[in-house]
Amino acid sequence: MELQEVKFEGWPHVLKAQQFDSGWIKNILFPLAIRMEGLYGHRLCGALLLDKEMISLFCGESTRTRASFEIAMHRLGGKVIVSSPNARLSSAMGKGEHFYDTCLALIEYGGDVLIIRNDGNEELGKLAVLSSIPIINAADNAEKDKQHPTQALLDLYTIQRRLGRIDGISVAMIGDLRNGRTVRSLSYLLAKFKGIRIFFVSPLQLQIGADIKEYLTRHGVEFSEHLDVREVAPHADVFYQTRTQKNLGTEDWDRADEAHGLTIIDKRVLDLAKLDSIIMHPLPCVGEIVREEVDPDPRAIYIESKNGKPSQVKCGLFIRMALLLIVISPEVCCSLLRTD
Amino acid sequence: MELQEVKFEGWPHVLKAQQFDSGWIKNILFPLAIRMEGLYGHRLCGALLLDKEMISLFCGESTRTRASFEIAMHRLGGKVIVSSPNARLSSAMGKGEHFYDTCLALIEYGGDVLIIRNDGNEELGKLAVLSSIPIINAADNAEKDKQHPTQALLDLYTIQRRLGRIDGISVAMIGDLRNGRTVRSLSYLLAKFKGIRIFFVSPLQLQIGADIKEYLTRHGVEFSEHLDVREVAPHADVFYQTRTQKNLGTEDWDRADEAHGLTIIDKRVLDLAKLDSIIMHPLPCVGEIVREEVDPDPRAIYIESKNGKPSQVKCGLFIRMALLLIVISPEVCCSLLRTD
Amino acid sequence: MELQEVKFEGWPHVLKAQQFDSGWIKNILFPLAIRMEGLYGHRLCGALLLDKEMISLFCGESTRTRASFEIAMHRLGGKVIVSSPNARLSSAMGKGEHFYDTCLALIEYGGDVLIIRNDGNEELGKLAVLSSIPIINAADNAEKDKQHPTQALLDLYTIQRRLGRIDGISVAMIGDLRNGRTVRSLSYLLAKFKGIRIFFVSPLQLQIGADIKEYLTRHGVEFSEHLDVREVAPHADVFYQTRTQKNLGTEDWDRADEAHGLTIIDKRVLDLAKLDSIIMHPLPCVGEIVREEVDPDPRAIYIESKNGKPSQVKCGLFIRMALLLIVISPEVCCSLLRTD
């Protein structure tokens, strides 16, 4: 394993799903994440990032993702030297300060990695050019191509851990596909693999963006669009459910959805679904899964680990530990992978 | 000292005051808290929970209680791997996420103890059943039986440290007894001891709940209800003052209170009170104690340590250190108590 | 170096700029800050405050200043045992609790230093009298003499590092001088040095307070007041720009400013300014510097380090490390300075 192989396009910044290719994902990221799973159980990973420093700047709302990054850092022996749970509320951004200025000041203070959740419309790319510290995008709201790349990487890892493969799978992406950033990032990543089939299930008004469809076509991914999840349920290996925002100009459809469960996952969908399929959700979940019917099903893996395999939430922790190692200490990654 | 003796009903979760009996309080909790006081002074306690991890999720407003738990963890050598000062504002709960989902995800991440302040109406009991990690209730707002059990335990410890006994004391509980959760939890605990006499002092509309009165009667605790604190002042060993919410449908009474000081503790009450009584308050205090008159009195022990004995605030730190040790490392507690 | 020399008036509390004299600044603070710069580069400073504890209570909005203090503590090996990013929102102060009570409770919990950003009108002096722990004022909003003393000390250090001297310099202070606390604190400090010349540039309605002018006169500092920064641009060694609050009863003037750039720093001002002058700003910056014109100029040092010398932001980190050392471990400072 050479140092160069550990690094990805745009290294050390993690900004968009497009940066990663399937070779790096299969040969570097996944083996490291598996390694983290093993070390995690034995709590033997506590010295890998000893005395390294994380700055965590979350402008928008988040507890789960912020916790995931910060716990990953602690588990590797690192320190979280600044944690801003809701910087939009608690920082000078309330006084009109430009988001970049807050970030630039934090970069001046130094540290080994900067985690940014940005709920403004700015691109992080401009900031990365100026930054001497690796920046990891913990979800942005950029006007043109909003993304959540670490979520997509952990989604992919969850699929790999559960289904044992990514090439050749069929994925139903469901919900508000126009506004969701996780489906965008995951679509980009899936396009790097072979034989992928995507079913986009959403109201007409909330369909996936034309740019994503164009990207998938260009990369030879087969996809189709649907209104009712039950149409595609028998054919999907993965159900990737996302939050629908009620009454986002979709009143008529919302009523139909509520009445007929067009995009809701419930027992009827489970009955149609393959026995070896999986139900995923990036969370928060606010009604689009009928929890009391779906949670107990072994296919529901969004929060709870089942059958000795990690849940999607837990996979997030392992992927983020692996990513932190890669951007902060690529040499350590090399030697970890070499001794595998 | 056997391991089983250290554990309490419902172990390892601390959810309600009713879980604890007087034997455990006297023989386990108090000796450990005293031990923490001793170690604290010499800063010798820093290795007892080395590398153990606390997740702190405060949905509602709190700085003091959150600080108390987090400092207790740090003093024992542990780490606070996630701290959410106001999760209701800064987490996806703002997007409608169910409180349980945030908690379940945090439990998936792992850790050694989860501190929860919940300002919603949900019961923590359901969550505890699912949790592999000890949960400590840092005050809830449950519809039926809202509680603040660690506050009640520290209140009891403060009484023990100041009066040298709990059996046989007379306690005046004053203020908004209908809505206060600390008076509920403390009533449950006092009922475990012998010869307790309680004076409930409040406006008619804010009297203590019927369920608490029924519980006290069942446990043979003598109590009476009053409108004016001065009626009971000469007889109380403990004045437990709590926050009154002005104009909570009590306009007439509020005016009377303001004019005549019916539930306010001031110099006139101090003059009536026994010289060896104590004035307590769970804080925040917003006017129901005339601070400039009462603060300097040696009987006022809510914030300031006096005469070489810890204040109520400081007792909170020792009790929380003891509780953390008990739920995270009961074996260490055993050996600490054995070597006493 | 004797222990007494390290201590300043009012030690160990840092409340107001007036506490410090030029001898202490030149012989103690600056040499320690330089020492921090050196250690910082080699990451050799991590044991100086080992196991010492910081409590950080920010009532008002701040990410940068809070980060600066907390990172400084981490870099010295200390712990941040409580961090409250926006206590006014997340603490019982929302329930009406008095600011002092929150602080007094935190002091009861113990710790080695308490950092307070107070956006209320209370004076910290009263609290300092009661506190067994050093208090550092991270900006207050006191009615009579609001201050930001650590900002002023870092401003002074930035000037020293960039210009090599403080005696004899000319400083243009620009913006909302009536409401800005940083210009107040910096004026007090500059008055301790020799041959200082201050140009106050602001709208008539936002001129510097009479108390500051009286103080400067009493200390023999020459100053004058202006409406247009270009009048003084050729004569200033330091441009200290501050945030102007648009439409604070200054509509006419605001329009004139926007149209004519009376207090705005842009290329026209740069063209008039001395080549060896410096442009400073305490941040946040919201329009009073034309960033795309000024940021690339080598004289602009508010955020970005240039020519191997630290930016104003970075100087803040070194000054705060030095201050923490002085108030927590004056003996260590003595021995550090002795071995210089």
* Active-site annotation holds for A226: no
Q: Which of B183, B175, B199 is nearest to B265 (CA)?
A: B175
* Active-site annotation holds for A219: no
* Cis ω for the linkage preceding B284 (within 30 of 0): yes
Largest pairwise CA distance in chain A: 58
pLDDT at A20: 98
Residue A298's contacts (CB-CB under 8 Å, 6 or more residues apart) are: A306, A307
Pick the residue of A52, A56, A99, A108 with the most C CBs within 10 A to test the interface with C by mutation: A108
Distance CA B18, CA B149 (A): 9
Tokens of C40: 């910082």
Tokens of C158: 């930035």
Distance CA C118, CA C100 (A): 10
Task: Verify whether the Cβ–Cβ distance B286 to C96 is below 8 Å.
Answer: yes
pLDDT at C248: 67
H-only helix segments in C111-238: 125-130, 149-163, 181-190, 210-218, 229-232
Give chain A positions within 8 Å (CB) of C315.
none
Task: Express each pLDDT in A202-248 by its tens digit.
Answer: 999 899 999 999 999 999 999 999 999 999 999 999 999 998 766 66
- Pick the catalytic residue from B16, B52, B66, B117: B117
**Strand partners for C239:** C172, C279
Largest pairwise CA distance in chain C: 58
Indicate if the pLDDT at residue A97 is higher than 80: no
Q: Label the pairing between strands A170-174 and A238-241.
A: parallel
Distance CA C4, CA A11 (A): 51
Distance CA C131, CA C107 (A): 7
Tokens of B160: 């023990």
φ and ψ of C119, to 5 deg: -95, 5
φ and ψ of B193, to 5 deg: -105, 175
Give chain B positions within 8 Å (CB) of A313.
105, 108-109
Mean pLDDT score across all residues of chain A = 91
Look at residue A222 and give its three-state secondary structure: strand
Mean pLDDT score across all residues of chain C = 91
Distance CA C127, CA B303 (A): 14
Distance CA C249, CA C19 (A): 34
pLDDT at B257: 82
Place of tokens 């059958």: A307
CB-count burial class (<10 Å; 0-12, 13-18, 19+) for A207: middle
Task: Verify whether the Cβ–Cβ distance C102 to B285 is below 8 Å.
Answer: no
Distance from CA of C257 to the nearest CA of A (A): 19
Distance CA A227, CA A203 (A): 6
pLDDT band for position A63 (cuts 50, 70, 90): confident
What is the DSSP-derived secondary structure letter of residue C339?
T
| Residues of A engaging B, defined by a Cβ cutoff of 8 Å | 43, 46, 58, 61-64, 66-68, 70-71, 74, 83, 85-86, 89, 243, 283-286, 303-305, 311, 313-314, 317
Beta sheet of C238-241, edge-to-edge order: C222-226, C197-201, C170-174, C238-241, C278-280
Task: Verify whether the Cβ–Cβ distance A108 to C70 is below 8 Å.
Answer: no
Distance from CA of B38 to the nearest CA of C (A): 15
Task: Express each pLDDT in C89-124 by its tens digit.
Answer: 555 555 556 788 889 999 999 999 999 998 877 789
**B73 with B49: CB under 8 angstroms?**
yes
φ and ψ of C56, to 5 deg: -120, 115
C-alpha distance from residue B303 to each of B274, B280, C222 (Å): 20, 9, 49
Distance CA C202, CA C173 (A): 8
**C312 with C161: CB under 8 angstroms?**
no
Which bin fits A8, alpha (ψ -120 to 50), beta or left (φ > 0)? beta
Residue type, A12: P
Could you tell me the sign of the dihedral formed by the alpha carbons of B21, B25, B28, B29, in that order?
A: positive
Distance CA A242, CA A149 (A): 16
Distance CA C178, CA C229 (A): 17
10-residue averages of pLDDT along chain B (340 residues): 93 97 97 91 73 90 90 94 74 65 92 92 89 96 92 98 97 95 97 98 94 97 97 98 78 81 95 98 92 97 94 97 97 86
Distance from CA of A120 to the nearest CA of B (A): 16
Task: Express each pLDDT in C139-168 by its tens digit.
Answer: 998 888 999 999 999 999 999 999 999 999
Q: Which of C297, C80, A327 is nearest to B80 (CA)?
A: C80
| Residues of C engaging B, defined by a Cβ cutoff of 8 Å | 51, 53, 55, 57, 79, 81-87, 89-98, 101-102, 104-106, 108-111
Task: Verify whether the Cβ–Cβ distance A96 to C284 is below 8 Å.
Answer: yes
Distance CA A154, CA A167 (A): 16
Residue A78's contacts (CB-CB under 8 Å, 6 or more residues apart) are: A49, A50, A51, A52, A53, A54, A112, A324, A328
Element (H, E) at C326: helix C312-328
ipTM of the complex: 0.93
Q: Label the pairing between strands B113-117 and A79-84.
A: unpaired
pLDDT average, residue stretch C77-100: 73
H-only helix segments in A57-180: 64-75, 87-90, 99-109, 125-130, 149-163
Say how far residue B79 (Cα) sits from the centre of its chain: 23
Look at residue A59 and give its three-state secondary structure: coil
Distance CA C82, CA C79 (A): 9
Give chain A positions within 8 Å (CB) of B51.
43, 46
Which bin fits C168, alpha (ψ -120 to 50), beta or left (φ > 0)? left
Higher pLDDT, B231 or A60: B231
Distance CA C303, CA C298 (A): 12
Q: Concatenated DSSP letters for B132-177? A: SS-EEES----TTT---HHHHHHHHHHHHHHHS--TT-EEEEES-T
Rg for chain C (alpha carbons), in Å?
A: 20
Helices A99-109 & C312-328, crossing angle to 10 degrees? 50
Residue C75's contacts (CB-CB under 8 Å, 6 or more residues apart) are: C40, C45, C46, C317, C321
How many other CB atoms sit within 10 Å of the CB of residue B298?
12
Distance CA B213, CA A79 (A): 50
pLDDT average, residue stretch C182-194: 97
Tokens of B36: 């923490």
Residue of C nearest to A87 (CA): C63
**Strand partners for A224:** A199
Task: Express each pLDDT in A138-188 by its tens digit.
Answer: 999 888 899 999 999 999 999 999 999 999 999 999 999 999 999 999 999
Distance CA A127, CA C243 (A): 23
Residue of C nearest to B285 (CA): C97
Q: Which chains touch A (3 or more CB pairs under 8 A)?
A: B, C
Tokens of C103: 């602080």
Higher pLDDT, A92 or C285: C285
**Number of alpha carbons in the 13 Å side-chain half-sphere of residue A254:** 11
pLDDT at C257: 82
Place of tokens 């720093």: C265
Look at residue C18 and give its three-state secondary structure: helix
What is the DSSP-derived secondary structure letter of residue C2?
-
Element (H, E) at A319: helix A312-328
pLDDT at C256: 81
Tokens of C130: 């009661």
Look at residue B103 and give its three-state secondary structure: helix
pLDDT average, residue stretch C272-276: 98
Domains along chain B with CATH numbers: 3-148+313-338 (3.40.50.1370), 150-310 (3.40.50.1370)
